[in-house]
Amino acid sequence: MSEQYPALIVITPLLAALLVSAAGWLRPRLCFPLALAGLGAAAAAATGLLVQVLATGPVTYRLGGWEPPWGIAYYVDNLNAVVAALVAWVALFNLVASYRAVMTDYPEKIGPYYTLYVLAVTGMLGMVVTGDAFNLYVLLEITSLTGYALIGLGGGRAPLASLNYLFLGTIGASFYLLGVGYLYIVTGSLNMADLAKLLTPLYGSLALLAAFAITLVGLWMKMAFFPLHAWLPNAYGFAPAPTASLLAPLMTKVMVYVMIRIMISVFTVEFVLQEVLVGQLVVWLAVAAMVAGALFALGQRDLKRMLAYIVVAEVGYMVGGAWLGNRLGMTGAVLHLINDAVMTFCVFLAAGCIYQKTRGTSFEDLRGLFKKMPWTMAALAAGAMAIIGVPPTGGFFSKWYLIRGGLEAGHWGFVGALLFSSLINVVLFFRVFEIAFFEPSGGDDSHGGHGGHEEHGGAVALAEAPLSMLLPLMAAALGLIALGLATGPLVQKLILPIIPAGLG
Amino acid sequence: MEEYIPLLLTKYNYWVYITLMMIGLWAMIAKNNLVKKIVGMNIFQTAIILFYVSIGAKYGGTIPIIQHGPGHGHGAAQIKALAYINPLPHVLMLTAIVVSVATLGVALALVIKIHRRHRTLEEDEILEQLRES
Amino acid sequence: MKALALAIVVLVGGLLVSATVDFPDWADPNSPASRHVSPRYIEKTMEETSVPNIVTAVLADYRGYDTMFETAVVFTAGVACFLLLRRREPRPGPSRVYRHRATGVIVEMNRVPDKEPSPDVFKRIDDDWTPHDLIVMNVCRLLIPFIQLFALYVIAHGHHSPGGGFQGGVILGASVILMALSWDLRTAMLRMKETATGLMSAMGVFIYAGVGALALALGGNFLDYAALSPLLRVDPVAARSLGIFFVEVGVGLAVMATMVLIYKNLASEGRLDQGL
Amino acid sequence: MIWQIDLAVLLLVVICAVGALAVKDLMGAAILFGAYSFLMCILWAVMGAVDVAFTEASVGAGVSTVFFVAAVFRTSRRTKD
């Protein structure tokens, strides 16, 4: 069975999604358990695969039994395995947390909602484990389409935000497809490992450079890297809460993973460092992303939108770290990818809990929340500390690596921007906590129109989010600290073996 | 000037795909009407499909269906790769066409949802309404 | 916005044009794309899968995993349209419009009647109804069975001629859409209920993934149809051919149902009561 | 591959694309888009990609156009550009 883990990671959620869809038409009550079983199996398979990869080294899996350049193959090393496990577990926890929110907001559409939810996770897991450039495009489209629908489901401005995301996302995915086409026309292959071999003699060709540029621009569009980030704040800000806490932590991280994969496994680091002369420019774009993300976040009066802009800044950290061109920077980028998925999940889920109780996440809705929802706010504080980079949490260590990478590369702008954006994060979260701690709770009537069934009661009455949301939230908050404590083994065992030797 | 003429002639398919792609891209960014943007998006995607199909073309090759296949496994040895067009880009593009129609469906569903709320398809009018509210 | 668009277009176009200069000439048989991976497909397909249409063989076998997800993309689009548009509250305004068959008098009702009038006397019509063209209706009625027959042929004959699950599925879906267009949405809905449509689109993908998972259960890799040979009692090459046929049927089913589902939701704004 | 046909169709494709974007009526745009898809499908058939052409004829020129018409019919035909 263990040699089939790579296939099971993707197949179990896919089959589960189909069963959920069927159950949605016949027995809607079965949808959630089926989705839970599917994602649980995927998480188990991903964990098994991670253990296997750590024990025996990279795993190759041939789909359909065809050998790689002709058939599609999975190639799973430490990087894939750890990102796959991360995606599977975060999605599983979020699924548990989403139950109440979906039941209250979309009771009639549980079936299609969970179908798309599980399909989105399937697509992300597939993208992470695949070793075929074109296969990645198909899976990317699955994830994107589900994302558009899950975001567009929200009320108010959500459909427009989703349509904008669709336009930019389609341009991004099409650019990626075009880049793959360029690689195909100069090499005749689609398999990543095969491509890496065939591309070496072609370094210096203009077509290759264009392929690299187009692919990267496409991916940047998908991950909302700075000048191409316009879709993200609205899409994640107006999305329904369970959707936002699924996509915001995972989608951008998976795209960063894909970028790193393309950089180190299809094109080699030698190509990236020597042939591409704009590496410095990319780091400066990352600097701009961090600064702009932080500044835009300052201007927001809504928790979810503020968090969305923080995501924009975080993407800048990872892309910048990956492009610094040294081992420390790359290590920091990968480590930050892991930490950031968990901390973004933590804060977005906390925002979801708040929305579940107050039916809004604007700063006015946060008043007095420390008294009403102490556990949620404690978890939000843990997430905030990780995003700021306070020592026991993982965020501190990944920033530490990034800063050391920046110092080693002599890139003072990157270091400065990183510190600046951390500082702004302090201000941002301090402002949130000030409102939540000191200001008295708002009146009941202000949001009576949205969800009349919630009774606020007295100003100090405890109105905590349901346990099914609180437990995943606590798990995420504890996970942040656990990740911080596990930084040493994480870097030594998982990350260092995959950093290519060519990095200085 | 002389050296550009063969370049123009031997790659004219590629020039047309770039033209179409840029038309589509321009429409997606500059057009104001949402349905027009979606038309632009489809033109953009079809242009990429044209590019891939052009990769597959081969002088002297026929359509990738083996003509005198006597059935199961016999006589396959004499099939020459040069006699048939490269089938791989065709396979990839079947996928891309299906993806584009799927995207179209979702995009139109979103457009209808937007129209339900704003009663217009013009982006500037929608933004105007949002600013007022 | 226009200036920005123009700048982006010129920039991207310039990049693409400059890269094209490095490409091999169009239709050059010696280009890398024609020499590296694809010759094996052309030369070995008959031997390994006994499918003369190389595109079908590569689509459903060598790169069958892509195609499974491609079907899943279609399925996703169907579910997405349903999720975004479907709503159950009735439309505002006159809720029901009927036409008296004998006299042609049109009756509007402001509320949903407690009991549907007999369809032989009063025919329910769309509220923007225009008199149907008898010729269009009857020609379509005659055509639709043949279109469906052709679609089934396209699915089944994909091994030997252009076609396969996608094309056949779309044609099959188009025949239902044609019925909705030439008659009305309710007539089409009677032939193909919403639940059936949704279940069929899930089932189509399930057939595909299920065939793959069956191969996995029988000891092969996922989607390795050769592993089905003990079950089908044929040699591995024929098992591959049959496996391709099974997944094409799944693809056809999923695509057909999804196209109908998307059309119904788009044409009726998700109310599924009346359409184009 | 007869290059005269190829070139003529390529030209028509570009004209249809521009037309679909320029026409001041969304229904017209939908129909022109259908024509564009159909010409594209001819182009691919000329290049020997029969399966792709078949798919485009049924998907692009057929069902996509119907989707467009359905959506335009349910929203509005009006457009400013």
What are the tens digits of pLDDT across the range A55-71? 888 888 888 888 888 88
Chain B residue numbers touching D40 (CB-CB < 8 A): 46, 49-50
CB-CB under 8 Å, D71 with C170: no
Range of the domain at B88: 4-59+84-132
Question: What angle separates helix A158-187 from helix A231-238, to the nearest 10 degrees?
Answer: 130
> Mind telling me how many Å the CA of A119 is from chain C's nearest CA?
8
Please give the model's pTM, rounded to 2 decimal places: 0.93
Contact C206 A15 (CB under 8 A): yes
A112 at C interface, C-beta within 8 A: yes
Q: Which of A364-368, A419-423, B6-10 has the lowest mean pLDDT?
A: B6-10
Position D69 scores a pLDDT of: 92
Interface test with D, best of C266, C268, C269 (most D CBs within 10 A): C266
What's the Rg (C-alpha) of chain B? 22
Q: What is the CATH number of the domain that holds B114?
A: 1.10.287.3510
Asked whether residue B90 is domain-assigned, the answer is yes
How far is it, in rounded angstroms, from Cα A395 to Cα A376? 20
* Chains near B (3 or more Cβ pairs under 8 Å): A, C, D
Position D81 scores a pLDDT of 77
Pick the residue from chain C with its C-alpha nearest to B44.
C9
Whether D52 maps to a domain, the answer reads yes
Residue B77 maps to a domain: no
Is there a contact between C64 and A63 if contact means CB atoms under 8 Å apart? yes
pLDDT reported for residue B115: 92
Residues C15-72 have pLDDT tens digits of: 888 888 778 777 787 888 888 888 888 888 888 888 888 889 888 888 989 999 999 9
Chain A neighbours, 3+ Cβ pairs < 8 A: B, C
Mean pLDDT, residues C190-197 taken together: 89
Mean pLDDT score of chain A: 87
Per-residue model confidence as pLDDT tens digits over C227-244: 888 888 888 888 988 999
User: pLDDT tens, B66-91?
Assistant: 876 555 444 445 677 778 888 899 99
Distance from CA of B108 to the nearest CA of A (A): 9
Task: Name the domain count of chain D.
Answer: 1
- Report pLDDT for C23: 80
Using one digit for the tens of pLDDT, what is the confidence trace for A291-329? 999 999 998 888 899 999 999 999 999 999 988 888 888
Structural domain includes residue B69: no
A150 burial (CB, 10 Å; 0-12 / 13-18 / 19+) is: buried
Q: Three-class SS of residue A132?
A: strand
Task: Look up the domain containing D8 and give its range.
Answer: 3-74
- Of the pLDDT bands very low, low, confident and very high (cuts 50, 70, 90), residue A199 is confident
Residue D80 near chain C (CB below 8 Å)? no
Instruction: Identify the band that residue B59 occupies on the pLDDT scale cut at 50, 70 and 90.
Output: confident
Residues of C in contact with D37 (CB under 8 A): none
Contact predicate B28/B42, CB 8 Å: no
Domain boundaries, chain A: 278-504
Number of domains in chain B: 1
| Local confidence band at A215 (pLDDT 50, 70, 90 cut-offs) | very high
| Residue D81 maps to a domain | no
Is A174 in contact with B92 (Cβ distance < 8 A)?
no
Averaged pLDDT for residues D6-23: 90
C68-94 pLDDT per residue, tens: 999 999 999 999 999 999 888 766 665
- Give the CA distances from residue A342 to residues A232, A334, A390, in Å, rounded to whole numbers and listed in that order: 19, 13, 15
Q: What pLDDT sits at residue C250?
A: 94
For residue D13, tell me if it sits in a domain.
yes
* pLDDT over 70 at A118, yes or no: yes
> Which residue from C minimizes the CA distance to B116?
C269
The verdict on a CB contact (< 8 Å) between D81 and B35 is no
C262·D59 Cβ contact <8 A? no
Under 8 Å between Cβ of A330 and A499: yes
Q: Least CA distance to A153: which residue of chain C? A: C84
With contacts defined as CB-CB under 8 Å, which chain D residues touch B100? Answer: 60
DSSP, collapsed to helix, strand or coil, labels residue C11 as helix
CB contact under 8 A, C269 and D51: no
The whole-number pLDDT of residue A453 equals 44
Chain B interface, best mutation among D6, D56, D65, by max B CB count within 10 A: D56
Closest CA to B24 of B2, B49, B1, B7: B49
pLDDT of C8 > 80? The answer is: yes
In chain B, the residue whose alpha carbon lies closest to the alpha carbon of A135 is B92
Residue B122 lies in a domain: yes
Residue B78 located in a structural domain: no
Helix C194-217, helix C236-267: angle, nearest 10: 160
User: Who wins on pLDDT, A453 or C211?
Assistant: C211
pLDDT(B92) > 50: yes
Q: Which chain B residues touch A148 with a CB distance below 8 Å?
A: 106-107, 110
CB atoms within 10 A of CB A93: 23
Asked if the ipTM is above 0.85, the reply is: yes
* Residue B71 within any structural domain of the chain: no
Cβ–Cβ gap C164/D51 under 8 Å: yes
Please tell me which residue, A459 or A155, carries the higher pLDDT value: A155
